[in-house]
Amino acid sequence: MGVLTQNMPHRDDGPTRLVRPVPAAPIQQSSADPLAVLPAKVRQFVERAVTLCQPDRVHVCDGSEAENAALLRQMQAVGMIEPLPKYDNCWLARTDPADVARVESKTFIVTEQKREAVPIPGKGVRGTLGNWMSPEDLEEAVADRFPGCMRGRTLYVVPFSMGPVGSPLSKIGIELTDSPYVVASMRIMTRMGGKVLETLGDGDFVKCLHSVGLPEPVTGPSGIRWPCNPAKTLIAHVPERREILSFGSGYGGNSLLGKKCFALRIGSTIARREGWLAEHMLILGITNPAGHKRYIAAAFPSACGKTNLAMLQPSLPGYKVECVGDDIAWMRFDKNGVLRAINPENGFFGVAPGTSSTTNPVAMATVASNTIFTNVARTADGGVYWEGLEKEVDTSAGVTDWQGRPWTPGSGAPSAHPNSRFCAPAGQCPIIDPQWESAEGVPISAILFGGRRPEGVPLVYEAFNWEHGVLLGAAMRSEATAAAEHKGKVIMHDPFAMRPFFGYNFGHYLSHWLSMEQRGQRLPKIFHINWFRKSPSGQFLWPGFGENVRVLDWVLRRVEGEPCARRSAVGWLPAEGALRLDGLPQRPDLEQLFSLPGDFWRREVEEVGRYLADQVGDDLPNQVAHQLDELRQRVAELE
Ligand code: GTP
Ligand code: SPV
Ligand code: MN
């Protein structure tokens, strides 16, 4: 029985009458009964949440310009955001320093049986493929947190569509939140309000309940205007009832519930049942100099280059890249066995540091208007600043850091938080693909897996077949980044870039991926890439960014069936001279970029083997174990 779908004990005055129309409400709702516009099932959901959370007001969002402007003004008035007058309709939010990234340790999948949610780890091993909670424990956790949590606040009803409104591949959610920042961000990240309720009718939707976790008038632990409750933060998902309950954090993936919670965790469980894939992948279109266009999807862990690749400015003449999405792909085989992908999102929630006119001019153009920046630094003239903009932003008039303190270059501490982000409408991207809102999705020719691997892993290699490709995804590892609460540059396992986002047992997820081989007529080829290999002196061996088109060029030629590859122990590598290097100012050290050190690879295979045995155990499909055995035999020969 779900927390929000069970019969809540009704109070005497009835749930709707708790919704007092307050004259001072910052946003006026035209109807005396703000819930009158809601379909019956949505209304019931809202009423139960109102009974539980006891907000002072309820506001049903229509997604209009006027509504958004009023929300922004209201947040500005209380000091939650400030305008950035250097740009058009851009805003800066500073969060509580205790609420700056996703909190994986407090993120749970709730199922009757633990094994539905997570594999059973080996004896004495702590499972790291997600956290499970029982329905009973969830009831208790909710009872400990949500009752009365919205007192003094407004509960916003946010109807949203993941995917273009009305597309057969799209899904609808309703997020109830007490954070106006979440509302304004959801308006950018999803198709919000407008026709969503009409399209939903009496259909089913994903129920999302979010609270910053503190009634008014309390501010956050640090006293700034970012209410949150880190000690009680909980992000729970109930796949069976398609419910998400998020408490205590107002930041990113913890609170914009359409993104990781819905589109990946709940999404992956829906996808499994319906026979498709919900993945942490960018989608891009690439046209070669002959005018032939293909689409590629790529999974890299958080803060490892998806946004950058999705907006790549090719350095090779005649190539053109267009962006369909930068974070999430929903993909399914159509009736002809072609894998088709949609981007369920409507905006980019991108990493700010490192973004500049040299690395990603497209992103810089995208965020010049209608963008909410979070935890970046600010220049005296009302512009943004972060690490990576040293060469293009004049800081001489002064910079305020992400915590609102004066900052000077060379002070040691970063001006912007390493996980500071921009939230910008995808439609503003100057290279948005003409097909990005196509109802049937774009056909995917290649899938890339990759990560930050300073050592041992070549720039690019191709899987021998689908099953081997599934091993490449399962064996993904990457240096930890600031996108989550991990510390230091430790190399972590992040299978399919989904470790923080699986909605069900990773072993079953692998079986699901393997089963796709039967659905596809023209299966995409699978590759592994690594832009981050370093020389012994610690320099990146590959220039990256716009030059990554050289790798895509090779990938596309492989897709077309060109024999431009040589067999190696780990997969197909570019044949001698096949990787285009013409026009590069400096010839990269290909020997180091593509070397396969025997000791490294034997250690890698053992490490991956141990990980899969310890973490996935009996749920590991035989085919994956078999692929790993084959790899073990091949790398035994390496010098
Ligand atoms: P999430 O939004 O967290 O899922 O991350 P993402 O995968 O979209 O990450 P993003 O593209 O924002 O990349 C984050 C960091 O990777 C930035 O600091 C970039 O500068 C760096 N980066 C991206 N591409 C390259 C590259 O080709 N080479 C190098 N050296 N760094 C890169
Ligand atoms: C990620 O961490 O992969 C993100 C940012 O894309 S968040 O939405 O916060 O999860
Ligand atoms: Mn992401």
Report pLDDT digits (tens) over 101-110.
999 999 999 9
Mean pLDDT of 557-565: 98
**Within 10 A of 431 (CB to CB), how many other CB atoms are there?**
18
Mutate to test the pocket of ligand 2, among 190, 282, 326, 349 (most ligand atoms within 8 A of CB): 349
User: Rounded mean pLDDT of 258-274?
Assistant: 98
Neighbours of 33 (CB within 10 A): 13
**What is the spatial distance between Cα 233 and Cα 131, in angstroms, rounded to a whole number?**
14
Residue 30 has pLDDT above 80, yes or no: no
Catalytic residue among 237, 242, 260, 558: 260
Contact 193, 186 (CB under 8 A): no
Give the pLDDT score at 24.
36
* Alpha helical stretches, state H, 520-584: 549-559
pLDDT at 410: 87
Share of the chain above pLDDT 90, in %: 89
**Average pLDDT over every residue of 125-130:** 96
User: Is residue 315 over pLDDT 70?
Assistant: yes
The residue from 102, 265, 332, 378 that is catalytic is 102
Q: Is pLDDT above 60 for 23?
A: no
d(CA 127, CA 529): 27
Instruction: Write down the pLDDT at residue 485.
Output: 76
**Whether the CB of 302 sits within 6 Å of ligand 2:** yes
Label residue 32 by pLDDT band (50, 70, 90).
confident
CA–CA separation, 520 vs 276, rounded Å?
11
- Which residue's CA lies nearest to atom 10 of ligand 1? 305
In DSSP terms, 528 is beta-bridged to: 449, 461
For the Cβ of 483 lying below 6 angstroms from any atom of ligand 1, the answer is: yes
Helix (H) or strand (E) holding 322: strand 320-325
Higher pLDDT, 357 or 12: 357
Compute the distance between CA of residue 84 and CA of residue 368 in angstroms, rounded to an integer.
10
Amino acid at 298: A
Ligand 2 atom 4 nearest Cα: 302
Centre of ligand 1 to C-alpha 308, Å, is: 6
Spatial distance between the Cα atoms of 316 and 311, rounded to a whole number of angstroms: 15
The verdict on pTM exceeding 0.85 is yes
Q: What residue type is assigned to position 140 of the chain?
A: E
* 488 band by pLDDT with thresholds 50, 70 and 90: confident
CA atoms within 13 A on the CB side of 189: 29
- The residue type of 241 is R
What confidence category does residue 13 fall into, taking pLDDT thresholds of 50, 70 and 90?
very low
pLDDT for residue 22: 35
Is-contact 163 344, C-beta < 8 A? yes
d(CA 487, CA 18): 44
| 590 Cα to the center of ligand 1, angstroms | 22
Q: Which of 207, 378, 421, 499 is catalytic?
A: 421
pLDDT number for residue 20: 34
What is the average pLDDT score of the chain? 93
Mean pLDDT of 530-558: 97
